[in-house]
Amino acid sequence: MLVAINATLLLATLVIVLYPLWTKHGSTIVVAPPGAERRTALQAEKDAVYAAIRDLDFEYRTGKLSEEDYTSLRQDYRHRALALLKQYGDLEQTTEATPPCCAVLCRLRTSQSV
């Protein structure tokens, strides 16, 4: 009985360890669009600021914040959100002005073949 349990555990361990070697992995290259990392970071920061504003509104409605603190904090968060939206818009304009990677590669290929 003990031998059967050990054999089963050994077989399960081998399958788990060796499974990645048996699977086929494609060699696809994923090219992120220009500014994708910055866009993701700005989106995450914008979401955090929006969540902070929602929390601030909730705390003010429940009476945990004074009117002065609420007004001051909300104004700060609002200015930060507007700055993030401006940065996001600027990033969108620069990435739209930049040709896609494929177009750049096609131009390089045609200029080299001529």
Check pLDDT > 70 for residue 25. Answer: no
67 part of a folded domain = yes
What pLDDT digit, counting tens, does each position of 40-70 carry? Answer: 888 999 999 999 999 999 999 999 999 999 9
What pLDDT digit, counting tens, does each position of 67-88 carry? Answer: 999 999 999 999 999 999 898 8
Check pLDDT > 80 for residue 7. Answer: yes
State residue 35 phi and psi, 5-degree precision.
80, 10
In the three-class reduction of DSSP (H, G, I as helix; E, B as strand; rest coil), residue 99 is classed as coil
Q: How many domains does the chain have?
A: 1
Domain assignment of residue 45, given as a range: 33-101
As a whole number of angstroms, the distance between CA 66 and CA 68 comes to 5
46 part of a folded domain = yes
How would you label 7-43 residue by residue, b for 16+ Cβ within 10 Å and e otherwise? eeeeeeeeeeeeeeeeeeeeeeeeeeebeeeebeebe
54 part of a folded domain = yes
Check pLDDT > 70 for residue 97. Answer: no
* Average pLDDT for the chain: 78
95 part of a folded domain = yes
106 part of a folded domain = no
